[in-house]
Structure 1
Amino acid sequence: MPTHGWKAKLYQFVEFVTMLAVLQLMWIGMTIMGLVIVGITPATVGLFITMRKRLRGQEDLKTLVKIYWKAYKEEFIASNKIGLVLIGIGYFLVVNFRIVTAMPGTAGLAMLTIMVMIMVLYALIVMNIFQVFAHYELPFTRYFSTSVLLTISFPLQGAGSIVGLYLLYRVFLIIPGLLPFFGISVTILFLTWMSSKIFKMKGEMDGTLETENGIR
């Protein structure tokens, strides 16, 4: 393997792209293996955990594949519990949103505004909670409270994540051929990178270190 010059950079780029494609294919395979319904959440959580390891310096693809498979198996039940709660809350919000949209007058408009704000907060929590799960080892209910706290405490980072997701959406819209190979992996890598900034700031604010108990 070349260690200097443009050949080394090209090799690193090809290796990085290969890693993204392999992890994407694993996500698809693990989701299908779980019959989609119970496979998509652990596959997604496992990918967040794996991408976090990648950003922390783990570059060997074979090791990352092993980390992904191990995370998928170990977090299968816990991640599906989180998924079920999120689905339940989402269903409740959708039902209430449909009721509110049918309400006339000023009161209906006020309720609609509140519901939209709640649904935006819910979307941000969904975006953050799997990253919290990948970063911390917490009691089950604290994943939700911690996700809410981080969402409220770092609104600019949340807005940045939304802008980044929109830009990725535009890229995949322009080049749809990238979606099957890089759609999920690139998106989760971006969200993991954004959340790493939040966790670093939170650690600095709390005076904690990455070696602290409760951090994966």
Structure 2
Amino acid sequence: METKGMLSGIYRVSEKVMMIAYTNILWILFSLLGFVLIGIMPATAAMFAVMRKLIMEEEEEVPIFNLFWNKYKQEFVKANLYGYLLLLVAAVFFLDVMLFQSLDGWPFTFLSILSAGLSLVFFAVVLYFIPLYVHYDLSFFQYIKTAFLLTFIHPIQTVIMIISGAVIGFILLLLPGSIFFFSGSLYCFIVTKTALKVFAHVEEQKVVIEGESQYGEYSI
């Protein structure tokens, strides 16, 4: 029985790995379909939507291609709009860091460090922004506000997401042949899984507080 259970577990893990690899291939192909410039943003949104489905419905078979294609079409305009707004802000942070590093003097060194820190915070906000985008129906500024709050309210999960990106990047450099299969989807899977746990925790706390507030113990 133990052997059978172990084999079943290995099969499930192998199947999940294959789905993650397949999603990465779709991410690359659909990014190219939009000549990268207008394809990578909706392809990324579609990839996160697929990862969300894989995580939330582990026992069910997920129609990856249909889900990816439908999300790609559905989010094409909005994902490009939101994506390039975020990219513009990221470019400003990057230029600030480069500018301050090129100038001499301790004030500019301080400003360079400050800009780099703010860039890291912004990166963390984006990591929450995308799972929020595929999980909830909010306005752009609500996504930003919620992502910013989650970045600081759940610092451990935030650090996990950032560090896991560095670790995966290092592994991909060591195994360049795996880039085609895991360059985006593996990190997407980890970020989505971490973010969904955060969302579930926040929703659970909200239900508890709202329930208790009915009896006068809390007010929100």
Q: TM-score, normalised by structure 1?
A: 0.86
Greater displacement, 46-55 / 173-182: 173-182
Q: How far 1:98 moved relative to its partner? A: 2.4
- For residue 174 of structure 2, what is the amino acid of its counterpart? I
Q: CA deviation at 1:150?
A: 1.4
The amino acid that maps onto 1:48 is F
Name which of structure 1's ranges 128-137 and 6-15 shifts more when overlaid on structure 2. Answer: 6-15
Distance 1:205 1:85, change over 3 A: same
Corresponding position of 2:53: 53
Matched residue type, 2:16: F
* Unmatched runs of 5 consecutive residues or more in structure 2: 209-220
Deviation at 1:6, TM superposition (A): 4.4
SS of equivalent residue, structure 1 residue 207: helix
1:145-164 deviation per Cα after TM superposition (whole angstroms, max 9, x unaligned) = 22212112212111111222
Contact 2:93–2:116 (Cα < 8 Å) also in 1:
no
Match of 1:42 in 2: 42
Moved more, 88-97 or 130-139: 88-97
For residue 118 of structure 1, report the CA deviation from its aligned partner. Answer: 1.0
1:1-216 equivalences under 5 Å are 4-58=4-58, 59-61=60-62, 63-207=63-207
Match of 1:211 in 2: none
- Cα distance change of structure 1 residues 95 and 64 upon mapping to structure 2, 3 Å threshold: same
**Shift in Å at residue 195 of structure 1?**
0.7
Relative to structure 1, is the Cα distance of residues 206 and 186 closer, same or farther in structure 2, using a 3 angstrom cutoff?
same
Q: Quick one: distance in 2 between partners of 1:5 and 1:162?
A: 34
Distance 1:116 1:7, change over 3 A: closer
Shift of 1:141: 2.3
Cα distance in 1 between the residues matched to 2:186 and 2:179: 9
Distance in 1, Cα, partners of 2:37 & 2:202 = 33
Deviation at 1:42, TM superposition (A): 0.7
CA distance in 1, matches of 2:7, 2:34: 40
Deviation of 1:76 after TM superposition, in Å, equals: 0.9
- Measured after TM superposition, the shift of residue 8 of structure 1 is 3.0
Give the 3 Å change call, closer, same or farther, for CA 8–42 of structure 1 in structure 2: same
Equivalent residue number for residue 214 of structure 1:
none
Tell me how far 1:55 sits from its aligned partner: 0.6
- Which runs of structure 1 show a deviation greater than 6 angstroms over 4 or more consecutive aligned residues? none
Amino acid at match of 1:136: Y
Secondary structure at the counterpart of residue 37 of structure 1: coil
Computed over aligned residues only, the root mean square deviation of the Cα atoms, in angstroms, reads 1.8
User: Deviations along 1:46-74, whole A, 9 cap, x unmatched?
Assistant: 1111111111115414x232111111111
Paired with 1:134 and 1:157, the residues of 2 have a C-alpha distance of 19
Amino acid at match of 2:121: L
Q: 1:152, 1:68 → 2: CA distance?
A: 31
Identical columns (%): 25
- Give unmatched runs, 5+ long, in structure 1: 209-216
